[in-house]
């Protein structure tokens, strides 16, 4: 069992990370609104394509160094000499990778533009190339903070990065259009790297055992790259293939649906940033019971959060999209509903998505998503030409459900984690009743009143029926300690 002090640290870290993620999402949201409203769906589609390409190439450019840093820093946090070796080796590798990535992207920008039949991408990617050296270094340094579980510093840097991106974008987009938005990415990356170098006291480096340590972090990192690449296919294949089969306007409309669908991952993403180093530490100390407890609590409470937010989008999603983005994006609602099915179930396991990497089962980290990724590509290639962005949403949802099924199977088999399926069925059944009540009564009662009452009812029932009394008491005790 986790001690109260450890629970307090865990709850505090989750709270800090959640607030940070929420603020970053809040700060990033106006950029999408600005580009959608001021520049239109086509330029928003271009910006999303640039961002998608950026995320995809960054994954390969880092070769998993940030993940290695998180794992090994968490394991050797009490060994100062080994810690300095890891930091030094990871930074030297990151600098070399950054310089190579800049050259590669700048020279080959035209190839990507031709691939997606979007000539405007050439100039945008040449601008974006300048962000790669800084982004690779900053990701490595953020991994260091995460591994040390210095979540307050991590959160502050993330918020500053999002805030600076928002400010730079607003300053530049009215004069330079979508070019200005991409320049904003570069400038925020530079600022973030400078801030992290200042925070981390980089002067404390060592060249002792540098070659062996570089080999060690690349060996583990390269194994996670394949997994992350496959996961990225599940996350981004739909956007890339819409860009290939359809138009930049379709990419823009779909990007709004995918943005809201992934919004519900705010809590699971926050939890995963804590559970990765935490489970790594528990595994090194052979604390299997604590690992099981972390997994059980994170998955259950992620489920409650995900269903509650999904209900909100079912009730109000169409109005929210129309209010924020206008009639041009009304086609985003139906693919959003389809995507919510996949993102909801996937989000439950996403909160502990790094568990296999944490316990050293690296092969499973890429084998599990490989099956769903292959299926995702096949389904997207079949369904997008037939059903457009709705087909892309359906393909992504099916692939995410397959990934969830495989992950739960291996968690039960290899880690002896018992999933309380009846608990999840009760939650889904209750939520299903609430949605059915909405569909039955929406023509009889004022929509706003009905939706508000049902949301409040769902929240109360979740708290009363599905949150363990011991957890309520622990949270209350921690709250009282914080207040006093």
Interval 216-228: pLDDT, tens? 787 777 767 766 7
Closest among 66, 4, 75, 78 to 281, alpha carbons compared: 75
Question: Is residue 358 located within the same domain as residue 462?
Answer: no
How far is CA 356 from its chain centroid?
17
Question: Is residue 192 located within the same domain as residue 307?
Answer: yes
Confidence of residue 456 (pLDDT cuts 50, 70, 90): very high
Q: What is the mean pLDDT of the chain?
A: 82
**What residues have CB less than 8 Å from 29, skipping those under 6 apart?**
none
Question: Is residue 467 located within the same domain as residue 354?
Answer: no
**What residues have CB less than 8 Å from 462, skipping those under 6 apart?**
304, 308, 427
Final residue of a structural domain among 372, 399, 419: 419
Measured CA distances, 273 to 113, 150, 257, 297 (Å): 34, 11, 25, 15
Question: Is residue 251 located within the same domain as residue 325?
Answer: yes
Question: Is residue 451 located within the same domain as residue 481?
Answer: yes
Residues 68-91, mean pLDDT to the nearest whole number: 78
Question: Is residue 290 located within the same domain as residue 431?
Answer: no
Residue 201: pLDDT over 60: no
Confidence of residue 9 (pLDDT cuts 50, 70, 90): low
pTM of the model: 0.67
Measured CA distances, 235 to 279, 301, 400, 452 (Å): 24, 23, 9, 32
Q: Which one-letter DSSP state was computed for residue 120?
A: T
Domain, as residue range, for 446: 420-484
Burial class (CB in 10 A: 0-12, 13-18, 19+), 128: buried
Q: 234: left (phi > 0), else alpha (psi -120 to 50), else beta?
A: alpha
Closest among 197, 209, 196, 201 to 85, alpha carbons compared: 209
pLDDT digits (tens, 9 = 90+) for 137-192: 888 888 888 777 777 787 788 888 889 988 998 899 888 888 998 999 999 999 99
Confidence of residue 8 (pLDDT cuts 50, 70, 90): low
Question: Is residue 376 located within the same domain as residue 445?
Answer: no
Number of domains in the chain: 2
DSSP-based helix, strand, coil % in the chain, nearest 5: 85, 0, 15
Q: What are phi and psi of 441, to 5 degrees?
A: -100, -5
Final residue of a structural domain among 399, 419, 439: 419
Question: Is residue 104 located within the same domain as residue 123?
Answer: yes
- Say what the pLDDT of residue 472 is: 62
- Say what the pLDDT of residue 13 is: 64
pLDDT digits (tens, 9 = 90+) for 121-138: 899 999 999 999 998 888
Question: Is residue 348 located within the same domain as residue 443?
Answer: no
Say if residues 345 and 307 touch (Cβ distance below 8 Å).
Answer: no
Say if residues 105 and 130 touch (Cβ distance below 8 Å).
Answer: no
CA distance linking residue 101 with residue 112, whole number of Å: 15
Say if residues 146 and 277 touch (Cβ distance below 8 Å).
Answer: yes
Closest among 40, 30, 34 to 247, alpha carbons compared: 40
Closest among 133, 137, 129 to 196, alpha carbons compared: 137
Q: Is 1 helix (H, G, I), strand (E, B) or coil?
A: coil
Final residue of a structural domain among 391, 419, 447: 419
In the chain, how long is the greatest CA-to-CA distance?
74
CA distance linking residue 167 with residue 160, whole number of Å: 10
CA distance linking residue 390 with residue 239, whole number of Å: 12
Question: Is residue 457 located within the same domain as residue 365?
Answer: no
Question: Is residue 337 located within the same domain as residue 448?
Answer: no
CA distance linking residue 188 with residue 134, whole number of Å: 9
Burial class (CB in 10 A: 0-12, 13-18, 19+), 117: exposed
Q: Indicate the angle between helix axes 4-34 and 469-483, nearest 10 degrees.
A: 80
Question: Is residue 378 located within the same domain as residue 463?
Answer: no
Closest among 54, 138, 58 to 91, alpha carbons compared: 138
Q: Is 474 helix (H, G, I), strand (E, B) or coil?
A: helix
How far is CA 159 from its chain centroid?
15
Among 48-52, 115-119, 306-310, 412-416, which is the least confidently predicted range? Answer: 412-416
CA atoms within 13 A on the CB side of 3: 3
Residue in the structure block whose two tokens are 């207040």: 483
């Amino acid at each position: 069992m986790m001690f109260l002090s450890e629970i307090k640290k865990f709850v505090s870290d989750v709270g800090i990370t959640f607030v940070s993620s929420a603020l970053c999402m809040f700060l990033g949201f106006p950029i999408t609104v600005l580009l959608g409203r001021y520049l239109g769906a086509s330029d928003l589609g271009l910006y999303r394509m640039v961002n998608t390409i950026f995320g995809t190439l960054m994954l390969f450019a880092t070769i998993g160094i940030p993940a290695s840093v998180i794992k090994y820093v968490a394991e050797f946090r009490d060994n100062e000499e080994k810690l300095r070796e890891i930091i030094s080796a990871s930074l030297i590798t990151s600098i070399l990778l950054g310089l190579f990535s800049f050259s590669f992207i700048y020279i080959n920008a035209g190839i990507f533009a031709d691939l997606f039949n979007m000539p405007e991408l050439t100039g945008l990617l040449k601008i974006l190339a300048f962000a790669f050296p800084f982004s690779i270094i900053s990701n490595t340094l953020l991994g260091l903070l995460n591994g040390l579980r210095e979540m307050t510093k991590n959160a502050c840097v993330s918020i500053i990065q999002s805030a600076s991106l928002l400010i730079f974008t607003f300053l530049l987009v009215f004069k330079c259009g979508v070019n200005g938005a991409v320049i904003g990415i570069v400038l925020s990356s530079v600022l973030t790297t400078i801030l992290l170098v200042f925070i981390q006291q980089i002067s404390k480096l060592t060249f002792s055992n540098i070659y062996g340590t570089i080999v060690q972090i690349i060996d583990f990192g390269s194994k996670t790259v394949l997994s992350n690449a496959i996961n990225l296919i599940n996350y981004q294949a739909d956007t890339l293939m819409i860009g290939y089969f359809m138009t930049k306007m379709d990419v823009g409309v779909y990007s709004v649906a995918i943005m809201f669908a992934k919004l519900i991952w705010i809590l699971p993403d926050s939890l995963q940033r804590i559970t990765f180093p935490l489970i790594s530490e528990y595994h090194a100390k052979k604390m299997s019971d604590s690992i099981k407890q972390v997994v059980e609590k994170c998955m259950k409470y992620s489920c409650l959060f995900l269903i509650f937010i999904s209900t909100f989008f079912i009730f109000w999603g169409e109005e929210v999209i129309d209010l924020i983005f206008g009639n041009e994006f009304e086609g985003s609602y139906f693919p959003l509903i389809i995507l919510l099915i996949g993102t909801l179930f996937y989000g439950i396991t996403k909160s502990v998505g790094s568990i296999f990497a944490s316990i050293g089962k690296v092969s499973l980290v890429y084998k599990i998503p490989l099956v769903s990724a292959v299926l995702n590509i096949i389904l997207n290639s079949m369904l997008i030409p037939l059903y457009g962005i709705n087909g892309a949403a359906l393909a992504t949802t099916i692939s995410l459900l397959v990934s969830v099924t495989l992950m739960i199977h291996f968690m039960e088999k290899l880690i002896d984690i018992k999933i309380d399926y009846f608990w999840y069925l009760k939650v889904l059944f209750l939520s299903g009743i609430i949605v059915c009540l909405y569909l039955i009564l929406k023509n009889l009662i004022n929509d706003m009143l009905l939706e508000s009452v049902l949301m409040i009812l769902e929240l109360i029932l979740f708290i009363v029926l599905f949150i363990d009394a011991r957890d309520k008491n622990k949270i209350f005790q921690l709250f009282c300690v914080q207040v006093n």
